[in-house]
Amino acid sequence: MSDQEGVIKYQLSHQSRAIEDDISITSINAWRTLLFKLELIGQLEGRYDGYAFGNISQRLTAINCENVQFIISGTQTGNIASLSRHHYCLVLDANLQQNSLRSTGCCKPSSEALTHASVYQQDNAIQSVIHIHCPEIWRNSHELELPCTAADISYGTVAMAAEVKRLFDTAPLQNTDVFSMLGHEDGIVAFSDSMEKAALLLIQLLADAIAIKQRR
Ligand SMILES: [Zn+2]
């Protein structure tokens, strides 16, 4: 596939040091472990040239704070069943126009951190963003009536950040908290005002996609 998973496309200024002890990873890590069990985040033989896929983030800053900071799973951690603190990093700020991102952590942020940042910047109420890879949902994007980013737009780019903004601005994402990335094989993004809601939305969609398949 041309849109290879796992390659960081933004300018990263990263400081290699552990995230602060008072940042809790309990919730994000529990949901991430469950999504790994469902193979929605992971690394599977025969998929994406062996690259790991999927990532999860949680907003840390208050709703009224302009500069959104969030923790996100690190790049190429998808092969690990259960992550620990040093597999997460903190995004301090992201500049979508300049395609740049600043972070700290024992590992570098996910290659799709810029897409997460663009979602957070659309609505201050968003507390969590989850990006999974799911062939069942992705192939049924239209049947499931999911808003879609354009097929010629690749993951982790400024163009994708602008496309996410377009989906919010032109209404498709005013009624649903999930979209499909047509230019990124199997890529789905969900977000919500809680991590639980974003994760449950994806699980519900997977059940709906399985039902569509079983009806055929
Ligand atoms: Zn992806």
Average pLDDT of span 164-177: 85
In a domain, 5, yes or no: no
What residues pack around ion ligand 1 (CB closer than 5 A)?
187
pLDDT, tens digit (0-9, with 9 covering 90-100), for 183-200 = 999 999 999 999 999 999
Q: Are 81 and 34 in contact (CB under 8 A)?
A: no
> Does residue 1 carry a pLDDT above 60?
no
Q: Look at residues 71, 61, 58 and name the one whose alpha carbon lies nearest to residue 127.
A: 58
**Does residue 54 have a pLDDT over 60?**
yes
Average confidence score pLDDT of the chain = 91
- Give residue 184's pLDDT: 93
CA of 186 to the centre of ligand 1 (A): 8
Q: Could you tell me if residue 4 is inside a domain? A: no
Q: What is the mean pLDDT of residues 192-212?
A: 97
- Other Cβ atoms less than 10 A from the Cβ of 13: the count is 11
> Does residue 172 surpass a pLDDT of 90?
no
Please determine, for residue 43, whether its predicted confidence score (pLDDT) is greater than 60: yes
- Cα(180) to ligand 1 centroid in Å equals 11
Burial of 149 per CB tally in 10 Å (0-12, 13-18, 19+):
buried
In a domain, 69, yes or no: yes
Confidence of residue 3 (pLDDT cuts 50, 70, 90): low
Count of the separate structural domains present in the chain: 1
The whole-number average pLDDT for the span 136-147 is 96
Within a domain: residue 208? yes
Q: How confident is the model over 72-96, as pLDDT tens digits?
A: 999 989 999 999 999 999 999 999 8
Residue 150 has what pLDDT?
Answer: 94
Cα–Cα distance between 202 and 199 in angstroms, integer? 5
User: What percentage of the chain exceeds 70 in pLDDT?
Assistant: 95
- For the segment 17-34, what is each residue's pLDDT rounded down to a tens digit? 999 999 999 999 999 999
pLDDT of res. 111:
85
Domain assignment present for residue 75? The answer is yes
CA of 46 to the centre of ligand 1 (A): 15
User: In 3-state terms, what secondary structure has residue 70?
Assistant: strand
CA of residue 203 to ligand 1 center, whole Å: 17
Q: Which domain holds residue 28?
A: 11-215
Residue 3 lies in a domain: no
The larger pLDDT score, comparing residue 100 to residue 10, is at: 100
What pLDDT does residue 6 have?
65
pTM over 0.85: yes
Mean pLDDT value across residues 122-148 = 95
What CATH number has the domain bearing residue 75?
A: 3.40.225.10
Ligand 1 center–CA 17 separation, angstroms: 26
Q: Are the C-beta atoms of 184 and 143 separated by less than 8 Å?
A: no
Across residues 126-135, what is the average pLDDT?
A: 97
Burial 164-185 (b: 16+ CB within 10 A, else e): bbebbeeeebeeebbbbbbbbb
Q: For residue 5, what pLDDT band results from cuts at 50, 70 and 90?
A: low
State phi, psi for 61 to the nearest 5 degrees: -80, 155
Q: Provide the pLDDT for residue 2.
A: 41
